[in-house]
Amino acid sequence: MTHLIVCDTNYLCHRAFHAIPGLSHQDVPTSVPFGLFSEIERLHDKFPDGTFVFCFDRGKPLRMEISSGYKGARRQKRKEADEEEKEARKSLREQIKRLAEELLPGAGFKNILFQRGYEADDLVAAVCLRKNREDRATIIAADQDLWQLLSSKVRIWNPSKKEFLTAKKFQSEWGLEPLQWTDVKALAGCSSDSVEGVPRVGEKTAAKFLRGELNPSTKAYEKIVMSTELWKFNKKLVCLPFDGTTIPEILPDEVTKEKWRDIRDQIGMTSLRESFSSPRRNEDICEDPCIDCGKKSWSKKEMKCLSCGSEIPF
């Protein structure tokens, strides 16, 4: 059984770029590499049994071919940016490219995924939905679009909030199955991606409709039932993965002490440890708390929590 640590790497790179701006080594910008490799160390400490998968955006999204307004607000913002902002964005792109093509492979990471016309979310979804049945996956992301991927073998770790989201927690909070999240997003729309939803229908109203709890006499209900074509069209945009996403082959990492140290020296990251490996106190006991009792006593061997007996995998 493989535990996949599936990263929305563009999210992690943007987060690092804004958290530690202006960092450089030998006049080469290193904010993004430093931030990402620091995050990799933290993730490796938290999930020492994990195989890393790094997913990147690449090129103009193919979704724009069926919706010209897709991510239109972001494109407009970039057009209106001043020269300083454009230079900063150019530096960000160059650092991400260096990570994907040079630094991550140089460190020995084997699963660096990108496909022209597709977004990191599509590749995250392809990995999680087409993995081996016995494998489990932890998605590293903050994007709500990925909630549709939750299952008994797939959970999400949000490094900004430092909290897990599991299928059970999602079901408890929304009263829906994770796959229904695509219907919520199709009805409510997505402002960050410029996906226009049903007017004046938000996520909570959409969820209420899907649970059968929205009063049929309300205007919101009427608008939803009159917007079935929009609902159907938007699902093409929000469902993951987008049609044509390739099925990646997952390989074991080949990170060695020498490779890690070489990358560490290349970008001047003396605060990183010299070796990627870290010892475990107990190879069987997972360090993550049981979502039922909260104790760190999940046994991989017994496939249950040794404190409360819960058989939920994460």
Query: At 139, is the pLDDT very low, low, confident or very high (cuts 50, 70, 90)?
Result: very high
Instruction: Indicate if the pLDDT at residue 137 is higher than 60.
Output: yes
Residue among 231, 238, 174, 176 nearest 198 (CA): 231
Asked whether 142 and 158 are in contact (CB, 8 A), the reply is yes
Instruction: Indicate if the pLDDT at residue 302 is higher than 60.
Output: no
pTM, to two decimals: 0.88
Helix, strand, or coil here: 197? coil
300/105 Cα distance (integer angstroms): 30
285/28 Cα distance (integer angstroms): 42
Given this model, what pLDDT does residue 279 score? 42
Question: 308-312 — which CB contacts under 8 Å span 24+ positions?
Answer: 312/152, 312/166, 312/168
Given this model, what pLDDT does residue 282 score? 47
Given this model, what pLDDT does residue 291 score? 59
Given this model, what pLDDT does residue 287 score? 56
Given this model, what pLDDT does residue 142 score? 96
**Average pLDDT of span 106-131:** 96
Asked if the peptide bond before residue 33 counts as cis, ω within 30 degrees of 0, the response is: no
Look up residue 133 and give its two tokens.
Answer: 């049945």
How many percent of the chain have pLDDT more than 90?
A: 80
Query: At 285, is the pLDDT very low, low, confident or very high (cuts 50, 70, 90)?
Result: low
Instruction: Indicate if the pLDDT at residue 88 is higher than 60.
Output: yes
CA 83 centroid distance within chain: 30
Instruction: Indicate if the pLDDT at residue 312 is higher than 60.
Output: no
Query: At 289, is the pLDDT very low, low, confident or very high (cuts 50, 70, 90)?
Result: low
Which has the minimum average pLDDT: 206-220, 225-239, 299-313? 299-313
In the chain, what are the domains? 3-167+244-279 (3.40.50.1010), 178-238 (1.10.150.20)
Half-sphere exposure of residue 95, counting CA atoms within 13 Å on the CB side? 32
**Average pLDDT of span 33-42:** 95
How many percent of the chain have pLDDT more than 70?
A: 88
Given this model, what pLDDT does residue 281 score? 42
**Average pLDDT of span 248-253:** 92
Segment 44-61, tens digit of pLDDT: 999 998 999 999 999 999
123/269 Cα distance (integer angstroms): 29
β partners of residue 305: 298
Given this model, what pLDDT does residue 300 score? 57
Instruction: Indicate if the pLDDT at residue 17 is higher than 90.
Output: yes
**Average pLDDT of span 75-101:** 94
**Average pLDDT of span 66-83:** 92
Asked whether 54 and 40 are in contact (CB, 8 A), the reply is no
289 versus 111: which is more confidently predicted?
111
Given this model, what pLDDT does residue 308 score? 57
Instruction: Indicate if the pLDDT at residue 1 is higher than 90.
Output: no
